Amino acid sequence: MKICILGLSHKTAPVEIREKIAFSSPQKLEEGLLLLKKIPHIKEVVILSTCNRVEIYLIVSDGINWKEDIISFFCSYQGLKRDDFVSHLYFKEDTDAVKHIFRVACGLDSMVLGEPQITGQLKEAYGISAGKNTTGFYINKLMHNAFSVAKRVRTETKIGSFAVSISFAAVELAKKIFETLEGKKAMLIGAGEMAELAAKHLITNGVSQIIVANRTYERACMLASDFNGVPCNFEEFPDKLKDVDIVISSTGAPNFIITPEKIKDAIKARRNKPMFLIDIAVPRDIDPKVNELDNCYLYDIDDLQNVVDENLKERQKEALKAEEIINSEVYEFERWLRSLEVKPLIVEIRRYFERIKEEELEEAKKKLSHLTEKDIKTIEAMLNAIVNKTLHRPTVFLKNLSNGEENYLYLDAIKEIFGIGREEKDEKKD
């Protein structure tokens, strides 16, 4: 039994390759799972297919060239030429494979370090495989461990608590100013992908109303309907500044369109309730002097980028802690795997000793016919004690056996010494 991974990700393959390998629909993925399961020696299989990675998690029998099987599966199933993608693939086995799955589940292998979506995607992938009965004993345990590791990493490190996109950073800042965005009003001046994304994030975080101002009124109306907001003539927006808590500006204006005077008036009319201004435009829309006004917080695109960079650094620090957690969990998982091998061995050894005991007891009973019931019971108890005490230390030793190459040697040596796994052959010889 071997845990194996074959895959490619944003780290090894460009998008042209990834999109060809990816399973375009759930149906396609399900069919692929069933086809893979039909390959002999493949015991269990899960396919994870996202826009950044395609990975196949496998449990295969020992000593099989599983890599070729999967590569030819991709060639025939996705209609690819071998040379197109093989150089982008990575293969992992055993400890490396377990560690890789854990790292993927925690988002440590993701393009945006520590992003949480991948855990959900992995759960979904596992759900589909489980639904098609292509998972089993080992994958089930592996996946459940991966999810609990991801949960541990999320609760024990702060990897997820630093916003690493401009629009999330804006939301985070807004919360530092307003505590909550529930019921707050925002104004979007101009348009643009980033500004609209920021506005969307504000709404999902509770902002109740968005006023949209644009040079062309039609465009304002269109955007407003997207956000369930109110359109506003471009000329009128300065009068409405006093009504909003958050301003996102992203126009193509060559000069500052928001001056300290305008904001001063707005702040006065708001009775000093704080305002948060986000200037995404280049060249800038809002005079930087606005930031010097009391109760006014102005962030331009560079400021937000700095916040993101700082946060990324913090995430990297947290990722180191996450790696430690993963290492210890990988160790635990391997111990569990080892225990699966050790348990039957312990049973076998015990059975071997019990058999000797029974045989010798019968022999003794025949020779010493004068013994009473009580005598026999005493002798039996003595023999039991000898067996138990003899086996105590080896049993404890085996149970505590950790990972590592040399431990295979122990297991093999013990099997060899007690002739376990060879008894049947020996008996036949006799």
Partner 1 sequence: MSIENFYYITLFFTVFSSILFFGYLITLKKTIGDISLIIFSLSTIAIFFYLVLRGVKGGYFPVSNTHEGLVFFALLCSVFFLIFYLRNKILILGVFLSPLVTILTLIAGFTDKSIGEILPILQSFWFPIHVVSAFIGNALFALSFVVSLVYLIENFRLKKKKFDVLGKLLPSITMLDTINYFCIVYGFPFLTLGMITGAIWAQVAIGSYWNNDPKEIWSLFTWFIYAALLHTRLISGWRGKKIAFLSILAFLFLVFSFIGVKFLFKGYHVFETIR
Catalytic residues: 51
The answer to whether 23 contacts partner 1 (rule: CB under 8 A) is no
The answer to whether 208 contacts partner 1 (rule: CB under 8 A) is no
The answer to whether 16 contacts partner 1 (rule: CB under 8 A) is no
Among 84, 93, 96, 314, binds partner 1 (CB under 8 A): 314
CA distance 349 to 417: 10
CA distance 301 to 284: 9
With residues binned 3-state (H G I as helix, E B as strand, rest as coil), the percentages for the chain, rounded to 5, are 60, 15, 25
Nearer to partner 1, 174 or 342 (CB): 174
Number of neighbours of residue 253 by Cβ within 10 angstroms: 17
Among 64, 71, 86, 177, binds partner 1 (CB under 8 A): 177
Nearer to partner 1, 179 or 218 (CB): 179
The answer to whether 31 contacts partner 1 (rule: CB under 8 A) is no
Instruction: Single out the segment in contact with partner 1 by CB under 8 A; choices: 51-59, 139-147, 304-312, 392-400.
Output: 304-312
CA distance 28 to 320: 37
The answer to whether 316 contacts partner 1 (rule: CB under 8 A) is no
- Enumerate residues 6+ apart whose C-beta is below 8 A from 344: none
Closest Cα partner for 77 from 122, 13, 17, 33? 33
* Matching residue, tokens 């080892």: 338
The answer to whether 121 contacts partner 1 (rule: CB under 8 A) is no
Nearer to partner 1, 116 or 160 (CB): 160
Give Cα separations from 39 to 42, 54, 67, 133, 370 (angstroms). 6, 19, 12, 15, 65
CA distance 152 to 329: 10
Judge residue 355's burial from the number of C-beta atoms within 10 Å of its C-beta, 0-12 exposed, 13-18 middle, 19 or more buried: exposed
Strand duo 2-9 + 90-93: pairing = antiparallel
Q: Answer for the pair 66, 41: CB distance below 8 angstroms, yes or no.
A: yes
Binding mask 137-176 for partner 1 (x = CB under 8 A): ---------------------x--x-----------x-xx
Among 16, 83, 179, 427, binds partner 1 (CB under 8 A): 179
- Residue 270 beta carbon to partner 1: minimum distance, rounded to whole angstroms: 9
Nearer to partner 1, 206 or 274 (CB): 274
- Residue 243 beta carbon to partner 1: minimum distance, rounded to whole angstroms: 16
Q: How many residues bind partner 1 (CB under 8 A)?
A: 23
Closest Cα partner for 139 from 233, 58, 217, 201? 58
Instruction: Single out the segment in contact with partner 1 by CB under 8 A; choices: 13-21, 27-35, 56-64, 292-300.
Output: 292-300
Among 52, 134, 250, 311, binds partner 1 (CB under 8 A): 311
What residues between 263 and 282 interact with partner 1 by CB under 8 A? 271-274
Number of neighbours of residue 423 by Cβ within 10 angstroms: 14
The answer to whether 85 contacts partner 1 (rule: CB under 8 A) is no
Summarize as ranges the residues that interact with partner 1 (CB under 8 A): 158, 161, 173, 175-179, 271-274, 291, 294-295, 297, 299, 303, 306-307, 310-311, 314
